[in-house]
A and B are shown apart, each in its own frame.
Chain A
């Protein structure tokens, strides 16, 4: 299961039957929103290819354009959004299609799972109605009773106990985790080619998260779909995806296999994300290394590299030239950093200062590494 990034990867499994078939190809996707204060370029130049059975993780902070990317593919953005580029489903262009044509794709070929299960279901209709609606909107010839049977099966597949009773429940009668499973069941109802899950576990209890992710995995296997998992949780990415796309300020900044991203990151931001993640495999005394500051305003991006103001490695060139997404070696791993080479073998704590709440250690860290930038907490 390989990801072809910007066409640079040639090996892998091209034409390996059903399983490796190229289903979704996004090329140079740009999304802008006109506002009173000017154009907000929420997504700039996102490209990826997705094969059947493959799973792609998209990571980034809130506002980095992860969700907008997928919604643009399905035409779910407000009418004011300006979308350019290309998104092809099995070779068929999706961008620019009208509502009627897109409705044929939505829920049938590509389906989407949204972040908040508590608000994703219409409160005034039963779970069964909303599931059956998803089926019958694409297959009107399916009888109500059949749709109901299928709905019960789907609820069973995603692990809802007593599905034949729950099918008549209203959303408010189910817990958050259950509701998210219902949404997953809706997403897999028509055996789609692609399932896009936008932060499917963020709003859920940690204990429920694993169950929901498992249901999602099962759904993917069941219908042999490709999966796009949008999240800010690197733990979820590590356990559930094959390839990773890291986004910052609307732009892809690093792309590669999950191993490449986790063990050989070549962009300081990726490094920072990894360093700020608590890990079970580190020894007890290990300190987390936070990325200080906040993402830039999309209305007024800093010149050059958008990550520059928060980057401990930034040099003059960073303010002048926005780095391109360049290949690292020949495996299809790409990163957008002027100093990608220097990052070889670096660990997060080599680049970012560890965080501390203990003033003694704080002082120690500061005196030890005077060249390190001070944290922004005092700003």
Chain B
């Protein structure tokens, strides 16, 4: 038997092709139809909010030539409000502001949560006890009220940046718990032991070994943070404690159209509402798809 045939046979033994983790995850993710459709939907909304203003003639400001309360038409697809703002341009701006808050919150609070969770889980002992008590304490303080109290009192009007900062500071609790739980089991694994035995510093182990290995938890919780931040931001803006006029946000738009759900100006109520729902819905589905795709316990056949 020649060596070449042997190699050919051996190659055939591994009938499942070797794939990288990323390829595997991507393949699994794209099998989740709702998640794929949602990803496309979410990207479309992002483009609408950030590229749209360059293509659309109206912005979110009052223009005297726009009639007040114009119903949806080719000139104003989303209609116009009482003061004479084109709603299409306004919704673009509002969605953009809300998305900016959401993305910054997702990045920031996930970072804080991941670091706190990893540090607590890695060091155990008093560090863990201290950090987890802090999480317990923050959990007892009602999120909406404390963020409202902080956001409502920003001097010189609340901007999207303030909103993002405030939501970020209070939004990392869930992530830290999830990451900590993961790290607690990881730290007992051999590769951490190995990293420690070759003299890896704590910082090196946390950032090079622990956090990358909890990436699936981190990425999923980051996507869910986006949905959470969108809902929180629009709620606070609705209560008048978030982003302030003359700037705009989806929550403010809904507040302005508070009682028009069944009036002839229904569009003022439904369009911003549907945008909030679509952002949160698509991102939730994407998060779900990612979770399914990255769960190592997922196999193609169950027993």
A/B contact in complex, CB under 8 angstroms: yes
Q: Is B300 an interface residue (CB 8 A)?
A: yes
Task: Return B182 CB to nearest CB of chain A, in Å.
Answer: 21
A370 CA to B263 CA in the complex, in Å?
A: 88
Q: Is B6 an interface residue (CB 8 A)?
A: yes
Task: Return A130 CB to nearest CB of chain B, in Å.
Answer: 22
Question: For A376, what are the chain B residues with a Cβ–Cβ distance below 8 Å?
Answer: 10, 13
Q: Is B190 an interface residue (CB 8 A)?
A: no
Please report the total number of B residues contacting A with Cβ < 8 Å. 16
Q: Is B9 an interface residue (CB 8 A)?
A: yes
CB atoms of B301 and A33 under 8 A apart: yes
A374 CA to B1 CA in the complex, in Å?
A: 12
Question: For B9, what are the chain A residues with a Cβ–Cβ distance below 8 Å?
Answer: 308-309, 314, 373
CB atoms of B14 and A379 under 8 A apart: yes
Q: Is A360 an interface residue (CB 8 A)?
A: no
Question: For B3, what are the chain A residues with a Cβ–Cβ distance below 8 Å?
Answer: 374
CB atoms of A293 and B1 under 8 A apart: no
Given that A373-B10, A374-B6, A376-B10 are known contacts, is A297 also in contact with B301, CB under 8 Å in the complex?
no
CB atoms of B13 and A296 under 8 A apart: yes
Given that A309-B13, A376-B13 are known contacts, is A36 also in contact with B6, CB under 8 Å in the complex?
no
Question: For B1, what are the chain A residues with a Cβ–Cβ distance below 8 Å?
Answer: 371, 373
CB atoms of B13 and A293 under 8 A apart: yes
Q: Is B185 an interface residue (CB 8 A)?
A: no
Question: For B12, what are the chain A residues with a Cβ–Cβ distance below 8 Å?
Answer: 302, 308-309
Question: For B11, what are the chain A residues with a Cβ–Cβ distance below 8 Å?
Answer: 379
Question: For A302, what are the chain B residues with a Cβ–Cβ distance below 8 Å?
Answer: 12-13, 15
A379 CA to B6 CA in the complex, in Å?
A: 13
Please, which residue of chain B has its CB at the minimum distance from the CB of A311? B9
Question: For B31, what are the chain A residues with a Cβ–Cβ distance below 8 Å?
Answer: 36
Q: Is A253 an interface residue (CB 8 A)?
A: no
Q: Can you list, as one digit per residue, whether each of B10-22 has a CB less than 8 Å from chain A (1) or not (0)?
A: 1111111000000
Please, which residue of chain B has its CB at the minimum distance from the CB of A378? B10
Task: Return B1 CB to nearest CB of chain A, in Å.
Answer: 6
Question: For B16, what are the chain A residues with a Cβ–Cβ distance below 8 Å?
Answer: 297, 299-300
Q: Is A347 an interface residue (CB 8 A)?
A: no
User: Which residue of A35, A67, A71 is within 8 Å of B300 (Cβ)?
Assistant: A35
Q: Which of A58-107 contact B (CB under 8 A)?
A: 67-68, 71, 77-78
A40 CA to B12 CA in the complex, in Å?
A: 18
CB atoms of A37 and B300 under 8 A apart: yes
A37 CA to B14 CA in the complex, in Å?
A: 17
Task: Return B8 CB to nearest CB of chain A, in Å.
Answer: 9
Given that A35-B301, A36-B300, A40-B301 are known contacts, is A300 also in contact with B15, CB under 8 Å in the complex?
yes
Q: Can you list, as one digit per residue, whether each of A22-43 has a CB less than 8 Å from chain B (1) or not (0)?
A: 0000000000010111001010
Q: Is A301 an interface residue (CB 8 A)?
A: yes
Q: Which of A276-308 contact B (CB under 8 A)?
A: 293-294, 296-302, 308
Task: Return A345 CB to nearest CB of chain B, in Å.
Answer: 22
User: Which residue of B6, B10, B302 is within 8 Å of A78 (Cβ)?
Assistant: B302
Please, which residue of chain B has its CB at the minimum distance from the CB of A303? B12
Q: Is A19 an interface residue (CB 8 A)?
A: no
A40 CA to B301 CA in the complex, in Å?
A: 8
Q: Is B303 an interface residue (CB 8 A)?
A: yes
A310 CA to B13 CA in the complex, in Å?
A: 7
CB atoms of A294 and B301 under 8 A apart: no
A373 CA to B2 CA in the complex, in Å?
A: 9
Q: Which of B253-303 contact A (CB under 8 A)?
A: 300-303
Question: For A371, what are the chain B residues with a Cβ–Cβ distance below 8 Å?
Answer: 1
Question: For A35, what are the chain B residues with a Cβ–Cβ distance below 8 Å?
Answer: 300-301
A2 CA to B270 CA in the complex, in Å?
A: 77
A379 CA to B11 CA in the complex, in Å?
A: 8
A314 CA to B37 CA in the complex, in Å?
A: 48
Q: Which of B1-55 contact A (CB under 8 A)?
A: 1, 3, 6, 9-16, 31
Question: For A308, what are the chain B residues with a Cβ–Cβ distance below 8 Å?
Answer: 9, 12
User: Which residue of B10, B300, B302 is within 8 Å of A293 (Cβ)?
Assistant: B10
Question: For A33, what are the chain B residues with a Cβ–Cβ distance below 8 Å?
Answer: 301
A68 CA to B301 CA in the complex, in Å?
A: 12
Question: For A314, what are the chain B residues with a Cβ–Cβ distance below 8 Å?
Answer: 9
Question: For A374, what are the chain B residues with a Cβ–Cβ distance below 8 Å?
Answer: 3, 6, 10
List the interface of chain A (C-beta within 8 A of B). 33, 35-37, 40, 42, 67-68, 71, 77-78, 293-294, 296-302, 308-310, 314, 371, 373-374, 376, 379
Task: Give me 20 A-to-B residue pairs in the complex whose CB atoms sit less than 8 angstroms apart, sorted by A's number.
Answer: A33-B301, A35-B300, A36-B31, A42-B301, A77-B303, A293-B10, A293-B14, A294-B13, A294-B14, A296-B15, A297-B16, A298-B301, A299-B300, A300-B15, A300-B16, A301-B15, A309-B12, A310-B13, A373-B9, A376-B13
